[in-house]
């Protein structure tokens, strides 16, 4: 598939998706968002891809937010539609059915922080800076930042970050649980590839169900979420990978999971 604003590479079972507008710090304009949507659909349906890394081109920025040129001319109706469309695209990444690692190589602001939060895991360079600076533009997050940030770091911290619009450093993002890991900037991609390769060797159906159980389960009452988990647990028992994983343990060898 041809893209202009994103790069999509494969390295075995790992796909690397790079937002590629470094001159504007990888800001998300409408065409870029649409390419992310198309790339997400392609990656979801490609069984050869078992883990994805999402990053930004250049050394300075992951994604510096929605493109402010477009925000400056939005109307009430287009603003609502664009927010809903972006939320839909980010949902695709959250529910891709395989792990997506945000490799945060610099600024992750506004829509950039929101997209990172829609990823399954977040690994940040020690030089990265994260935040929801929308308040400084007289607007609010529109790509589900108010919701995902509150779920990730708790209501109090989310209120503080979104109301002040402050940028925080990677170490602080790690401390409050906004990112999973912080690594030296120079080794970010190597570390992200290592983690992606580890995940890509895991049983694909079980990974898909784990992501679904956590994402969907958190939105359900606890008792219903436990029933949902039990149902997925039962389903996973139908897979060849379950038989392979348990047999490999008993035979003291490494499992070879096929995603069936
Ligand atoms: N949109 C468009 N252009 C941008 C953006 C952006 N978000 N961020 C940076 N750029 C451009 C700059 O205008 C500049 O362009 P030029 O070279 O033509 O002047 C170029 O990128 C380089 O940026 P700077 O010169 O500003 O670089 P600095 O190192 O001085 O500063 C910062 C880096 C701090 C990241 C600074 O660029 C900045 O503050 N950027 C804006 C960050 C921001 O406010 N992001 C949030 C945007 S709002 C949002 O994301 C809402 C999401 C929900 C929308 C839902 C409905 C659509």
Q: Whose CA is nearest to atom 56 of ligand 1?
A: 83
For ligand 1, atom 47, the nearest C-alpha belongs to: 65
pLDDT at 118: 98
Q: What is the pLDDT of residues 130-158, one digit of tens each?
A: 999 999 999 999 999 999 999 999 999 99
Structure tokens at 6: 């994103």
CA–CA distance, 241 with 238 (Å, rounded to integer): 9
Closest CA to ligand 1's atom 29: 60
Cβ–Cβ < 8 Å for 168, 177:
no
**Please, is 112 exposed, middle or buried when counting C-beta atoms within 10 Å of its C-beta (0-12, 13-18, 19+)?**
buried
134 labelled catalytic: yes
Rg of the chain over all Cα atoms, to the nearest angstrom: 19
pLDDT band at 198 (very low <50, low <70, confident <90, very high): very high
Separation of 162 CA from ligand 1 center, angstroms? Answer: 17
The per-residue pLDDT for range 5-52, each reduced to its tens digit, is 999 999 999 999 999 999 999 999 999 999 999 999 999 999 999 999
110 lines ligand 1 (CB under 6 A): yes
43, HSE (Cβ side, Cα atoms, 13 Å): 29
- By DSSP bridging, strand 121-125 and strand 107-109 are unpaired
Nearest CA to ligand 1 atom 45: 65
Sheet of strand 100-104, all strands in order from the earlier edge strand to the far edge: 6-11, 14-19, 51-56, 100-104, 121-125, 181-183
Going by alpha carbons, the residue nearest to atom 3 of ligand 1 is 24
Percent of the chain at pLDDT > 70 equals 100
64: three-class secondary structure by DSSP: coil
Q: Give, for ligand 1, the residue of 68, 81, 135, 169 to mutate: max count of ligand atoms closer than 8 Å to Cβ.
A: 68
What pLDDT score does 168 carry?
Answer: 98
Backbone φ, ψ for residue 74 (5° rounding):
-75, 155
Q: How many helices (H) and strands (E) does the chain have?
A: 11, 10
Taking residues 216-237, what's their average pLDDT? 97
Query: What is the per-residue pLDDT for 185?
Result: 98
Query: Which single residue is written with the structure tokens 């994805």?
Result: 52
CB count in 10 Å sphere of residue 31: 14
Whole-number Å distance, alpha carbon 69 to ligand 1 midpoint, is: 9
- The pLDDT tens digits for 100-112 are 999 999 999 999 9
Q: What are the residues facing 19 on neighbouring strands?
A: 6, 56
Q: From ligand 1's centre to the CA of 9, what distance in Å?
A: 26
Q: Is the CB of 145 under 6 A from ligand 1?
A: no
Query: For ligand 1, is residue 106 a contact (CB within 6 Å)?
Result: no
State the chain's mean pLDDT as an integer: 97
Set 4, 114, 160, 224: catalytic member = 114
| Confidence band, pLDDT 50/70/90 cuts, at residue 243 | very high
- Each residue's pLDDT tens digit, 163-185: 999 999 999 999 999 999 999 99
Tell whether the model's pLDDT for residue 1 goes beyond 80: no
Q: Which residues contact 135 (CB under 8 A, 6 or more apart)?
A: 162, 163, 164, 165
Torsional class of 27: left (φ above 0), alpha (ψ -120 to 50), beta (otherwise): beta
pLDDT band at 214 (very low <50, low <70, confident <90, very high): very high
Q: How far is the CA of 209 from the centre of ligand 1 (A)?
A: 37
| 53 vs 123: CA distance, rounded Å | 10
- The Å distance, Cα 141 to ligand 1 centre, comes to 15
The DSSP letter of residue 7 is: E
- Residue 126: closest CA among 191, 198, 194: 191
């Amino acid at each position: 598939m041809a893209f202009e604003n994103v790069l999509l590479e494969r390295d075995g079972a790992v796909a690397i998706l790079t937002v590629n507008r470094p001159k504007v710090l990888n800001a998300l304009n409408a065409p870029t968002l649409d390419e992310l949507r198309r790339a997400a659909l392609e990656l979801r349906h490609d069984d050869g891809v078992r883990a994805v890394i999402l990053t930004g081109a250049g050394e300075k920025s992951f994604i510096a937010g929605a493109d402010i040129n477009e925000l400056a001319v939005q109307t009430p109706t287009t603003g609502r539609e664009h927010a809903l469309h972006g939320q839909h695209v980010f949902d695709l990444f959250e529910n891709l059915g395989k792990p997506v690692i945000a490799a945060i190589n610099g600024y992750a602001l506004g829509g950039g922080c929101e997209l990172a939060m829609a990823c399954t895991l977040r690994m940040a360079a020690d030089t990265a800076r994260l935040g929801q600076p929308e308040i400084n533009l007289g607007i609010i997050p529109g790509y589900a930042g108010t919701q995902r940030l509150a779920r990730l770091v708790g209501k109090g911290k989310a209120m503080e970050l979104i109301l002040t619009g402050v940028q925080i450093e990677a170490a602080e993002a790690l401390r409050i649980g906004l990112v999973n890991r912080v690594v030296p900037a120079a080794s970010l991609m190597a570390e992200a590839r290592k983690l992606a390769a580890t995940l890509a060797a895991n049983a694909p159906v079980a990974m898909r169900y784990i992501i679904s159980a956590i994402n969907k389960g958190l939105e359900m009452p606890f008792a219903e979420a436990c029933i949902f988990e039990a149902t997925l647990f039962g389903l996973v028992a139908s897979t060849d990978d379950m038989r392979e994983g348990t047999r490999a343990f008993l035979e003291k060898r490494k499992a070879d999971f096929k995603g069936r």
